Amino acid sequence: MRLTVRVWRQAGPDAPGHLEQHELDGLSPQLSILDLLDRLNEALVDAGQEAVAVESDCREGVCGACGVTVDGRAHGPQAGLPTCLQQIGAFADGATVRIEPLRSAAFPVVRDLVVDRSALDRLIEAGGHVAVDAGTATDANALPVPTDVAEQALDFAACIGCGACVAACPNGSAHLFAGAKLLHLAHLPSPSQERSRRARQLTAQLEAEFGPCSLYGECAEVCPAGIPLRAVAAVPHERLRARR
């Protein structure tokens, strides 16, 4: 399989960026987009050129570190998969593939395909955590949680924090991410004790760092964890609830 790869190169946050074109041949359709970048970097290093900076960790669809934009779509053409699990077999033999960093004002480029997603970390610091003094640890079954409630909490906890929702949103909104955190923790007994405080602090940070949600819906379409669009409704709901 042969592909023409147009990859974004940018030396630093303040440097101008550009697309650099390379031809790669002898590729297996089973390779992931990260494998494709590995092959490209091997060729660049062998030629005495600088490798493309790209971030990744687990390569199992869990960590969320690998997110890039492929042909204008966060992660790539295959729905429900992060970049590390997107196979190049989705492209036609001889196709041109454009790979760029996640595009959002909240995610400034650090170098090449690596962006600074610390704005999401600041949302977690503001309210996406549990700070209840639990004292002595109790038995696991001391606070029973109905199965359906636990399942809902786990569904929203599936968010891997990749930032694809922000990059896909025309407004640069992080409501899907924030809503998933709010709903995940609101469903559980101990975290729910801080529900109002969490909603006030997290939504205030959300407004300071990201754009507003206009319900375009692109966020849910590119989410590799399958977080439903209804998660965005948790943001205004929890904010209003906290004011009562």
Judgement on whether residues 153 and 195 belong to the same structural domain of the protein: yes
Residue 35: predicted pLDDT: 97
Judgement on whether residues 147 and 230 belong to the same structural domain of the protein: yes
From 111, 127, 162, the end of a domain falls on 111
Judgement on whether residues 27 and 52 belong to the same structural domain of the protein: yes
- Looking up tokens 């779509």, which residue turns up? 73
DSSP type of residue 65 = T
Judgement on whether residues 82 and 132 belong to the same structural domain of the protein: no
Judgement on whether residues 121 and 103 belong to the same structural domain of the protein: no
Judgement on whether residues 79 and 148 belong to the same structural domain of the protein: no
From 111, 140, 162, the end of a domain falls on 111
Output the average pLDDT for the chain: 94
Judgement on whether residues 106 and 123 belong to the same structural domain of the protein: no
Domain of 17, in residue numbers:
3-111
Judgement on whether residues 30 and 126 belong to the same structural domain of the protein: no
Per-residue confidence band for 140, with pLDDT thresholds at 50, 70 and 90? low
Exposed / middle / buried, residue 99 (Cβ in 10 Å: 0-12, 13-18, 19+): buried
The residues, ordered by sequence, that sit 6+ positions from 146 with a Cβ below 8 Å of its Cβ are none
- CATH code, 216: 1.10.1060.10
Judgement on whether residues 10 and 61 belong to the same structural domain of the protein: yes
Per cent of the chain over pLDDT 70 is 97
From 85, 111, 137, the end of a domain falls on 111
The string of pLDDT tens digits covering residues 186-212 is 988 888 889 999 999 999 999 999 999
- Looking up tokens 């009562």, which residue turns up? 244
Residue 94 token pair: 């001889």
Per cent of the chain over pLDDT 90 is 89
Per-residue confidence band for 137, with pLDDT thresholds at 50, 70 and 90? low
In this prediction the pTM is: 0.92
Residue 108: predicted pLDDT: 97
Judgement on whether residues 93 and 180 belong to the same structural domain of the protein: no
Total domain count, the chain? 2
- CATH code, 19: 3.10.20.30
The string of pLDDT tens digits covering residues 10-67 is 999 999 999 999 999 999 999 999 999 999 999 999 999 999 999 999 999 999 999 9
Q: Which helix (H) or strand (E) holds 20?
A: strand 17-24
